[in-house]
Amino acid sequence: MPRYYPICLEIANRACLVVGGGAVGLRKARALLAHHGRVRVVAAEALPPLRRLAEKGRIILHERPYRASDLRGIQLVFVATDDAALNRRIAREARRRRVPINIADVPALCDFIVPSIVRRGKLIVAVSTEGACPALSKRLRKALEKQFDRAYGDYVEMLAGLRKRIIARTPDSRAAARLLERLLDEDFLRIIRRKGRRAAEAHARKWLAARLDNRPATLRS
């Protein structure tokens, strides 16, 4: 088995191809749309939800067998068919064109694999077994979904704003890094859960102002 290098890929406005019109192909198409990819689906037969996405102009759908020319201009390929010979053929043609490819449940033919993901706003927690046991990845993802609740989305957004203020007000990069570490030690997440993001941001602004002005401050919730 290969050793995969974890990476977050920007696919907005990139041409993405999905081969296969079943449940897995539909899931891949929806995931690509959610990340603003330009999606083309090729399938001998497509599920009704894919047809509806095409009717709304959200994807381009070709209900016919795959052709090598379908790879023209494509930057990312997902294959979701149960035809082993077709999967191998698409893998060969994609590599010839240097287009990264993922073939569902066939890691040996993949240039990349897709981890199980927990997303909370800008926070992404990804779990992978490098294709060795996808069922374990899914089970761990479910456990992480409970650990990282939806409050983390607001928490990360709040921290991003505070980080900008710290960097702008603290020219010394090491001092800024120390202040950011201290910021993470404060329990703003608990305030978000109990009182909401606005209350947490108000506490955070007072906390930060006190430290930037070298005044003592106590965080209360």
Quick: pLDDT tens for 105-118.
Answer: 898 999 999 999 99
pLDDT of residue 220: 46
pLDDT of residue 13: 97
- Round to whole Å and give the CA distance between 204 and 221: 11
Under DSSP, is residue 201 helix (H, G, I), strand (E, B) or coil? helix
Q: Let me know: does 70 contact 17? Beta carbons within 8 Å.
A: yes
Question: Residue 214: what pLDDT?
Answer: 62
Report pLDDT for 2: 74
* Cβ atoms of residues 152 and 120 within 8 Å: yes
For the chain, residues with pLDDT lower than 70 are 1, 214-221
Q: What pLDDT was estimated at residue 46?
A: 98
Tens digit of each residue's pLDDT (9 = 90 or more) over 60-95? 999 999 999 999 999 999 999 999 999 999 999 999
* Contact criterion met (CB below 8 Å) for 70 and 19: yes
**CA–CA distance from 156 to each of 7, 115, 183, 195 (Å)?**
20, 21, 12, 16
Residue 56: per-residue pLDDT: 98
Angle at 196 between CA 194 and CA 197, to 5 degrees: 135
Question: Distance of CA 135 to CAs 1, 68, 114, 124, Å?
Answer: 17, 33, 13, 19
- Classified as helix, coil or strand, 118 is strand
